Amino acid sequence: MGILFATRHSLFAGTMTPALLNYPHIDPVLIHLGPLAIRWYALSYITGLLLGWGLVILMLRDKTLWTSPVFGGKPPATEDEIGDLVVWATLGVILGGRLGFVLIYGTFFCGIWGTSPACAGLPMGYLENPIKIIAAWEGGMSFHGGMFGVMLAIYLFCRKRGLDYAKIGDLFAVVTPVGLFFGRIANFINGELWGKPTNVPWAMIFPRAPDALQRHPSQLYEAALEGLLLFTIIQIALRVFRAQERPGLMVAIFLTGYGLFRGFVEFFRDSDTVYFGWFSVGMSLSIPMFLIAAYFYWYAFREKRA
């Protein structure tokens, strides 16, 4: 992304301070089409959904993945069914992501703690001006809300079409890290969700931060861990250990991996939604993910495979 190394010299001692990576000033808006602004953040959602859809289709076409008697020699869904489900999942991401932010951050956290500058006027602002509830363009989408929205969308779709929820959930668990990767890159381009002050050689100064301190590029940490590494782990589980033959297991692996990686990065992320000390909202949201993961581990291993 055009990131260049820079070395700074002390004016007084003539010594060098740790190297600093220059933050690449990329316009959050890719292109203006009259009054319409196409933003990198919106493109990250679109790219993640389309790539995820394409990867699921490739998985369905790979007959070697579905040879187990668990699947009866055929994939758990047709390509047309997945195409229809993507529409449901898209609505789940958008509605769940926004409502999750409003409920978890704007209402629960701001209503009880209210320690963040972003809490100004909230949650009463939602009552005074209800349009703020859907005003995602002002900022505010929750991954956890989007994830639960997708899980609900998959459940309702599977119930309507008579599909196995755990098997379909596994398909989406495999590709979700792709969307996470692009989402965190978009956060980096927007210069938001920056990290805590640090002197590590790859630190950056984010122009939107309230100071000129060099900080952890925590968005890139999340892109690497929640995106690239988690995608690699699940691919190994799928293709080497054939985790799909225990329906629900890849969902459990995804939830465990994301919860661990997100909780770890929270130590480096300069979160303004902190309950007390170092314990943040992001960390607390890993707890229900671990509980749901435990259920899917139990579900996957509750009986022997056919």
pLDDT at 26 over 60: yes
**Residue 214 located in a structural domain:** yes
pLDDT at 8 over 70: no
Which long-range CB contacts under 8 A does 151-158 form with residues at least 24 apart? 151/92, 152/92, 152/96, 153/85, 153/88, 153/89, 153/91, 153/92, 154/85, 154/88, 154/89, 154/92, 156/88, 157/84, 157/85, 157/88
pLDDT at 16 over 70: no
Which of the pair, 82 or 9, is modelled with greater confidence? 82
How large is the angle between the packed helices 40-61 and 79-100, nearest 10 degrees? Answer: 150
**Residue 105 located in a structural domain:** yes
Region 20-43 average pLDDT: 86
Boundaries of domain holding 54: 37-301
**Residue 138 located in a structural domain:** yes
pLDDT digits (tens, 9 = 90+) for 83-134: 999 999 999 999 999 999 999 999 999 998 887 777 888 899 999 999 889 8
What is the structure's pLDDT at 18? 55
In which band, very low, low, confident or very high, does the pLDDT at 20 lie, cut at 50, 70 and 90? low
Task: Give the amino acid at 31.
Answer: I
Enumerate the β-bridge partners of residue 279: 276
pLDDT at 17 over 70: no
Average per-residue pLDDT for the chain = 90
> What is the pTM for the complete model shown?
0.90
In which band, very low, low, confident or very high, does the pLDDT at 37 lie, cut at 50, 70 and 90? confident
Region 183-203 average pLDDT: 94
Percent pLDDT > 70 in the chain is 91
**Residue 124 located in a structural domain:** yes
Cβ-contact 41, 51 below 8 angstroms: no
Instruction: Dig out the tokens for 292 from the structure.
Output: 């749901």
What is the structure's pLDDT at 13? 37
**Residue 13 located in a structural domain:** no
Q: C-alpha distances in angstroms, 83 versus 90, 173, 209?
A: 11, 16, 41
pLDDT at 237 over 70: yes
The secondary structure of the chain, three-state, reads CCCCEECCECCCCCCECCCEECCCCCCCEEEEECCEEEEHHHHHHHHHHHHHHHHHHHHHHCHHHHCCCCCCCCCCCCHHHHHHHHHHHHHHHHHHHHHHHHHHHHHHHHHHCCCCHHHCCCCHHHHHCHHHHCCHHHCCCCHHHHHHHHHHHHHHHHHHHCCCHHHHHHHHHHHHHHHHHHHHHHHHHHCCCCECECCCCCCECCCCCCCCCCECCHHHHHHHHHHHHHHHHHHHHHHCCCHHHCCCHHHHHHHHHHHHHHHHHCCCECCCCEEECCEEHHHHCHHHHHHHHHHHHHHHHCCCCC
Region 275-283 average pLDDT: 89
**Residue 127 located in a structural domain:** yes
Percent pLDDT > 90 in the chain is 73
**Residue 23 located in a structural domain:** no
Cβ-contact 83, 49 below 8 angstroms: no
**Residue 31 located in a structural domain:** no
What is the structure's pLDDT at 64? 97
Report how many domains make up the chain.
1
